[in-house]
Structure 1
């Protein structure tokens, strides 16, 4: 957790120094921003028998860059490129599943004036691409996750697998101050299964999906 907060503070400090030195708002009204924060992630769904997965929230880091592109008065489209840590902790154990993604959200953003700043209300899809993953415990044991869309039963029994592609929906609510600093609460609902199909496995009901919510700080240049 300390590493997450340290990374957040470091990124935002760099953003503030850069913003003092230059303005990156283009003549077309497009502006760029940076944000970072803490995600509380989970993996929900069912196991091979159809029983509900019993996991706990796992704190992970998220951070990256965004662009606000004007569509109409107070309406924007906000694409982004974010590093997003996801995963879960197995209930009543110290076993953690951690998967790192590069997420590309596209958020439809409504920014009405509220006081001296703007309220932030957004919704939109995201696509994530897994770049690394592991299952570990507090004793230092860990096993890397391999990424395949489909595996044989023998492969599944021998190693840990997940799909590389994730996709779903994002929701956000927040507030941007007149200083251009912002705070936002976001929720993510994974709609794509991240577990691979097992070739020839009849009756397998496994369905694992990423879900989570988080709190982040941002700065718009």
Structure 2
């Protein structure tokens, strides 16, 4: 994971160098900002299936650079502040005994996209993109609430990020933390660019097992899945 995070800045620098040395379209290098809504979830089974009932609403906000390589192709790289996680419920919430846990870690994410564009009119494009991301958990909360024998209870605490090492967690204790700090995977996006306004839909496919004290070889895997919608502005 550390190697992935070290490689990504070099990819961004390489993208900038390529954009400067390759003939681009007349719109030039752009800087964009965007933000919106996330529907976060987790795959918690070995076959990668996701239970829609576990979806948790969160948000995304950040900025990026768009480096045109050709009139219909560009590279994008930036930094996003984004919420992930899921909620898990056991028991019937209409009954006397149930427990619900909401885990909402917040990450600084560095995405890199290869973007294809289909021109519809001057300064109007439909675009599609895909590429890798690396993310580091920086904050978040876990809230547990429920009812046992008719008595309600609730508890909330800041998320504790576990270590990537399956044998050593925070403070040297084994398996400590709610989720691992580092996440990585692939992003897929589509949208429309109208003048300087962008409308984006994005799907983040987490490939890292973020269950603390585990590895990608374990049978039980917790992997982030995030669908997001965002609105932004692209300045050139």
Query: TM-score of the superposition, structure 2-length normalised?
Result: 0.70
SS at match of 2:129: strand
CA RMSD of aligned residues (A): 2.8
Q: Label 1:29 to 1:83 Cα distance change in 2 as closer, same or farther (>3 A).
A: same
Alpha-carbon offset, residue 140 of structure 1: 4.9
Query: TM-score of the superposition, structure 1-length normalised?
Result: 0.75
Alpha-carbon offset, residue 211 of structure 1: 0.5
Alignment of 1:1-221 (within 5 A): 29-46=28-45, 56-91=54-89, 93-116=99-122, 117-137=124-144, 140-143=154-157, 144-149=159-164, 150-151=166-167, 155-156=174-175, 159-178=176-195, 180-197=196-213, 205-221=219-235
**Separation (CA, whole Å) in 2 of partners of 1:167 and 1:46:** 18
- 8 Å contact from structure 1 (residues 83, 103) kept in 2: yes
Alpha-carbon offset, residue 69 of structure 1: 0.4
SS at match of 2:219: coil
Q: Label 1:204 to 1:106 Cα distance change in 2 as closer, same or farther (>3 A).
A: closer
- 8 Å contact from structure 1 (residues 152, 198) kept in 2: no
Alpha-carbon offset, residue 91 of structure 1: 3.3
Give the number of aligned pairs: 187
**Separation (CA, whole Å) in 2 of partners of 1:94 and 1:162:** 17
Q: Label 1:71 to 1:135 Cα distance change in 2 as closer, same or farther (>3 A).
A: same
1:67-109 superposed Cα distances (whole Å, 9 cap, x missing partner): 1001122110000100010000113553101111000000001
Q: Label 1:165 to 1:198 Cα distance change in 2 as closer, same or farther (>3 A).
A: closer
The runs of 5 or more residues in structure 1 that have no matched partner are 1-26
- 8 Å contact from structure 1 (residues 148, 161) kept in 2: no
The runs of 5 or more residues in structure 2 that have no matched partner are 1-25, 91-98, 146-152
